[in-house]
Structure 1
Amino acid sequence: MPTDRPPSPWKRPPPQAGADDAAPPRRQRDEELRLYGLNAVQAVFARRPAAIRKIYLAEARIPQLQPLLKWCVAHRVGYRVVDEADLHKLAASKHHEGVVAEVLREPPQSLATWLEALPAGPCCALWLDGVGNPHNLGAILRSAAHFGIRALLLPKASPLALSGAAARVAEGGAEAVPFVRLGREDNAIAQLRGAGFTLAATVVRGGQDLFATPLPQRLVYVLGAEGEGMDASLAAACDLRLSIPGSGAVESLNVAAATAVLLAQWARAR
């Protein structure tokens, strides 16, 4: 009888609690990322199919994921149809949307490499000084992808890395916005200025009104950590200090919401 399900090359039994599928070795965790969510997985397939190592999916997702599953068969990449409980376990979340994938991480670029490949003209990037919440990171990536932002710049010592939760919230945006690892802070600032960028510290109070300030064509918004904000010395080293005016009913916007406002204002000016 005909079926829409392609033949599976992977015949191992479903994952069990405590098995390798539920807890990959540390080296594998460093090199691989367990993604979940339909848009997150499809974005990797569209941009970096060779990074895919394993796929787990609900039977109901087979029709939507036919191109991916056929690619898996052609390239001998294992996939497995599993039940809802196994997907919950694999994703460590109920928000898996019926598909989980293990993929190779894309390593961050160096600042020099990123700048060398950057075309002339308008460009905006985000410098994340201490942002750590995965849901905020995912929302920032989604906004950055929507507005065509060129990169997320990470301080040298920042432990921030893409997680499955962040990638799901980003809804595919994690594949559109590269991570760039900075070197020493003073060198990074000099390199960015040498490439024509203005650095704008985003502060809760005391900055210029975002909506009344002309924004340069090449701009790096510097965003501080949730709660404590950015490092004072970094804020002082920036060329601009910008604030988002509001009613005063709350102290400030969440960092992800503020990012969307900042990026929309830069895009509007272009």
Structure 2
Amino acid sequence: MTDPKDKHPLYRGPGQGREEGRGPRPPRRDDRQGPRIPHRAERAAPRPPYGDVEGRQDDSWPAKPKEFRIYGLNACLAAFRARPESVRKLWLLESRIPKLQELLAFCVKNRIGYNVVENEDLEKLTASAHHEGVCLAMLPQPELNLSNWLMTAPTGRCLLLWLDGVGNPHNLGAIMRSAAHFGVAAILLPKTSSLSHSGAASRVAEGAAEHVPLIRLGRTDNAIAQLASAGFTLVSTVVRGGSDVFRSELPARCVMVMGAEQTGVDSDLLAASGLRVEVPGTGQVESLNVSAAAAVLLAEWRRQNSKA
């Protein structure tokens, strides 16, 4: 007996086209009718398990993590070599092709879009004249949670850097560069800090942003208690009224607290600090830029605590 559906003029079985010769119906793009077919660039690499800053996957999972743009030659090469699976698109000047052969070959192999553009295009893409001929769209590094980080923290000598009130991304980039050079294990950022991974910070960091993790803190009192339980001593930096850093014994497990240039370190952090230090100078200027001061302080900690 013939199936009645075979006689219906609108019935089409699996694999049949809507009209003769047209092939199967394309997938619906309306999310209510089914999942969106990902673009080939999205299929090029597995998506990382992003969650909130406490390490839990948030309610919007699997929402696509926000992309951001990294620019600068060293910053882009470091990001590509550390996290190739996070690369989403490449823009470059024709003059940069010889320096970026490895990155271009990766994009071709993994069907990741790239465009050779003019200098004016890169200035618009990066909002900077200091793009150095290359820009990458990438998934950001996840910020870490202090509790989780402390579970696998190094034992013995360890230096952390707490940035309290620092808000300039260029200062963050310069601090990251010094932090990577002198062996800082992580940079701590208050919950309310505007700082994060960004194109501007990454360019100034010259690749260091891939080597120094950022930890987003919760409540200040909880963070202080957790760090103390892990054997860390807070050392706050002040413009005046502190001990000469070059004559002070810096702890082996140290959290160096740097404040904003105008307001300094928060009073609660000062009260919780086991030591207050300053960088002595001629007095002809009030203080050093926060990134310059950080380099001096980190270098002195490393001098005192370097392994024989």
**Higher RCO (C-alpha under 8 Å, 6+ residues apart):** 1
CA displacement at 1:206 relative to structure 2: 0.7
Q: Does 1:198 align with 2:233?
A: yes
Which whole-Å deviations, capped at 9, do the CAs of 1:4-36 have from their partners, x for residues lacking one? xxxxx99xxxxxxxxxxxxxxxxx997221111
In the alignment, the residues of structure 1 paired with residue 300 and residue 281 of structure 2 have an alpha-carbon distance, to the nearest angstrom, of: 15
SS state at 2:159 partner: strand
Question: Residue 130 of structure 1 aligns with which residue?
Answer: 165
Larger mean Cα displacement after TM superposition, 202-211 or 161-170: 161-170
User: What letter corresponds to residue 223 of structure 1 in structure 2?
Assistant: M
* Amino acid aligned to 1:222: V
Amino acid at match of 2:83: R
2:135 to 100, 110, 135: 100
Is 1:129–1:224's contact at 8 Å kept on the other side of the alignment? yes
In the aligned structure 2, how far is the partner of 1:200 from the partner of 1:263? 12
Matches within 5 A, 1:181-196: 181-196=216-231
| 1:266 paired residue number | 301
1:242 aligned to 2:270?
no
Is residue 234–residue 254 contact of structure 2 (8 Å, CA) maintained in 1? Answer: yes
Name structure 1 gaps, 5 residues minimum.
1-8, 11-27
**Contact 1:124–1:220 (CA<8 Å) still a contact in 2?**
yes
**Considering only aligned residues, what root-mean-square deviation do their CA atoms show, in Å?**
1.7
Count of residue pairs the alignment pairs up: 245
Question: Runs of 5+ in structure 2 lacking a partner?
Answer: 1-39, 42-62
1:199 and 1:221 in contact (8 A); partners too? yes
TM-score normalised by structure 2 residue count: 0.77
1:215, distance to aligned residue in structure 2 (A): 1.0
Tell me if structure 2 keeps the 8 A contact 1:204–1:252: yes
Q: Choose which of 189, 213, 216 in structure 1 pairs with 2:248.
A: 213
What does residue range 98-177 of structure 1 map to in structure 2 within 5 Å?
98-177=133-212
Q: CA deviation at 1:213?
A: 0.6
User: Equivalents in 1 of 2:179, 2:192: separation in Å?
Assistant: 22
1:86 partnered with 2:121: yes
Rate the CA distance shift 1:95–1:223 in 2: closer, same or farther, 3 A: same
- Matched residue SS, 1:245: coil
Q: Does the 8 Å contact 2:141/2:197 carry over to 1? A: no
Length-normalised TM-score, structure 1? 0.87
> Deviation per CA, 1:34-64, whole angstroms, max 9, x where unpaired?
1110011011111111111110000111111
TM-aligned CA deviation for residue 258 of structure 1: 0.1
Q: Given that residues 70 and 203 in structure 2 are in contact (C-alpha distance below 8 angstroms), is that contact kept between their aligned partners in structure 1?
A: yes
- Tell me if structure 2 keeps the 8 A contact 1:132–1:226: no
Distance 2:86 2:92 in 1: 17
Match status 1:35 vs 2:56 = no
Report the equivalent of 1:255: 290
Taking structure 1 as reference, are residues 29 and 140 closer, same or farther at Cα in structure 2, changes over 3 Å only? farther
Per-residue deviation, 1:201: 0.7
1:203-230 deviations in Å (ceiling 9; x for gaps): 1011111000111111000111132112
Match of 1:62 among 94, 97, 122: 97
Aligned partner letter, 1:116: M
d(CA) in 2 for partners of 1:179, 1:222: 15
Shift of 1:120: 1.2
User: Is the CA contact 1:34–1:91 (under 8 Å) kept in the aligned structure 2?
Assistant: yes
Q: Which has the larger radius of gyration?
A: 2
Cα distance in 2 between the residues matched to 1:189 and 1:44: 32
Question: Aligned pair 1:50/2:85, yes or no?
Answer: yes
Identity %, equivalent residues = 60
Q: Which runs of 4+ in 1 moved over 3 A?
A: none
